[in-house]
Structure 1
Amino acid sequence: MQRMPIGNSIPIDVSLLEDIEQSALQLSAQLDTLVTSLQENLQRAATTTLESIKVYERSLVQGVCAQVEACVDQTTDLISRCDEMDKDMASIAALAAKVKHIKHAVDVLAASIK
């Protein structure tokens, strides 16, 4: 064991300082490895999060588009049915006029019988 005095008072063990320096270098290398690994994992997590958000947005937009398309189809169907019903109602107006004419004829007949 080699000791060197600092100034005139305290002797220092050089091998102990070298051991501390080696331990510090190893710890520094391990810390660098840990920080690099942490950065890589955080980057992967951020990428995965971003991809999942994009998938969610796409599925949400596609779902909304499908719902809008279904609503448009249902509205078109409703309009077609309303048009058909309107045509049917036009014949009901003519039928109502005939019923009124028949009722009037029955009333006239009833009045003439009395």
Structure 2
Amino acid sequence: MPIGNSIPIDVSLLEDIEQSAHQLSSQLEALLSSLQSQLRLAAQATLGSVKVYETSLVDGVCGQIEHCVQQTTELISRCDEMDKDMAAVATIAHQIRAIKQAVDLLGSTIK
């Protein structure tokens, strides 16, 4: 006797799980893209700060220090933005756990 005929499977539950998984995948992809962009901008700000530091040894120190402070402030701002974006990871993790529980429940029902 095939397993499919003996165990009732809620197709709508499977479709809901699949839809949730696709939504989470899209959200995670968007979050990672945003984080990558912000990390790239933070790296550029860091590189700019290093270049400012290198040239400050030769050029006017006061102006270069101001520029370096501006670059550091921008880096801190970008880190704050990344921190806010990372808060979404907790929400996505919770949703992933819920999907895993549903899949585990479905798996235990099938066994």
**TM-score between both structures, scaled by the size of structure 1:** 0.48
Q: Which has the higher contact order (CA 8 A, sep 6+)?
A: 2
TM-score (norm 2): 0.49
Structure (1/2) with the larger strand percentage:
1
